[in-house]
Amino acid sequence: MPVTTSPSEALPAHVAIVMDGNGRWAEARGLSRSEGHRAGLEATRHAVRFFAEQGVGTLTLFAFSSENWGRPREEVEALFDLFVSAIEAELPELIERGIALTFIGDRASFPSDLQTRIAEAEQASVANEGMRVVVALGYGGRWDILQAARRWVAAGDEGANPETSFAGYLSTAGMPDVDLLIRTGGERRISNFLLWQAAYAELLFIETFWPDITADDLRQGLAWYASRQRRFGCVTGAAEASAREVPSA
């Protein structure tokens, strides 16, 4: 595990985004919350293109949390319709750009047409070797840890490194941990998102509502990340000096 990250090495391998503020953006304009979600989809399209062009390997987007089931039925149904149409509309460009699309979360309660579109999109893009876009739908960090724990215990797979072994049962198995977690909309919490995976993520909170996010905002976020020293609990210098010590004969 690295002790520090210099600006020259500071492109995050995994960016995660809580795309917050769609509803408040719409309400401020006298529009329905559904209109806000549609505007947020346009921002998402631009964000995917931006991070792919920057060379980020994994981008995880929090689209629908396990707690979002508590929203008004009309809003939830409108979101599911939007997800179906978005997959159909965006998949051809994602495939053309070599982007792999993955969905994480408990999808069992989704409408059958959405479940079908999810499975088709994953299969159609599985061989792509560009950026991986991970869409969290029906996802909660606690749910993820609990389902992983049940599977891990059932498999009896403690291994030589239990922490590494356990991570292989999370919904993000095989993906790097989150380096940079961004939340828009002015709130300062991660809301049950990637709790295990974001243990050492740099947290960036942006006041701007998601539909108004621009490439400049995201570029500034990457610059802020590049300025950070990531010590992972170590002390800069001390750990490096220790690594250089040569044992006496």
Active site residue 179: no
| Short-list 47, 55, 54, 56, CA closest to 90 | 47
- The position carrying tokens 């991070």 is 51
Active site residue 106: no
What pLDDT sits at residue 246? 34
Distance CA 76, CA 142 (A): 21
| Short-list 54, 48, 53, CA closest to 10 | 54
Residue 22 among known ligand-binding residues: yes
Average pLDDT on 105-111 reads 93
Residue 244 among known ligand-binding residues: no
Distance CA 205, CA 189 (A): 8
Distance CA 172, CA 223 (A): 26
What pLDDT sits at residue 184? 98
Q: Using 50, 70 and 90 to split pLDDT, how confident is the model at 236? A: low
Average pLDDT on 122-127 reads 97
Who wins on pLDDT, 13 or 237? Answer: 13
Q: Rounded mean pLDDT of the chain? A: 90
What pLDDT sits at residue 247? 35
Question: Would the pLDDT of 168 be above 90?
Answer: yes
Question: Would the pLDDT of 249 be above 80?
Answer: no
Tell me which of 68, 81, 128, 212 is the catalytic residue.
Answer: 68
Question: Would the pLDDT of 242 be above 60?
Answer: no
**Residue ranges covered by each domain of the chain:** 7-244
What pLDDT sits at residue 231? 79
SS (H, E, C) the chain: CCCCCCHHHCCCCEEEEECCCHHHHHHCCCCCHHHHHHHHHHHHHHHHHHHHHHCCCEEEEEEEEHHHHHCCHHHHHHHHHHHHHHHHHHHHHHHHCCCEEEEECCCCCCCHHHHHHHHHHHHHHCCCCCCEEEEEEEECHHHHHHHHHHHHHHHCCCCCCHHHHHHCCCCCCCCCCCCEEEECCCCCCCCCCCCCCCCCCEEEECCCCHHHCCHHHHHHHHHHHHCCCCCCCCCCCHHHHHHHCCCCC
* pLDDT tens figures, 39-75: 999 999 999 999 999 999 999 999 999 999 998 899 9
What pLDDT sits at residue 52? 97
Average pLDDT on 79-105 reads 96
Overall fold of domain 7-244: Undecaprenyl pyrophosphate synthetase (3.40.1180)
Residue 151 among known ligand-binding residues: no
Q: Using 50, 70 and 90 to split pLDDT, how confident is the model at 175? A: very high
Question: Would the pLDDT of 133 be above 80?
Answer: yes
What beta strand segments (E) does the chain contain? 14-18, 58-65, 100-104, 132-139, 180-183, 202-205
The 8-class DSSP code of residue 71 comes to S
Query: What are all long-range contacts of 241-249, with beta carbons under 8 Å and residues at least 24 apart?
Result: none
Question: Would the pLDDT of 4 be above 70?
Answer: no
Q: Two tokens at 229?
A: 């020293």
What pLDDT sits at residue 9? 57
What pLDDT sits at residue 10? 85
Q: Using 50, 70 and 90 to split pLDDT, how confident is the model at 244? A: very low
* pLDDT tens figures, 184-209: 999 999 999 999 999 999 999 999 99
- Are the C-beta atoms of 169 and 150 separated by less than 8 Å? no
Residue 21 among known ligand-binding residues: yes
What pLDDT sits at residue 238? 47
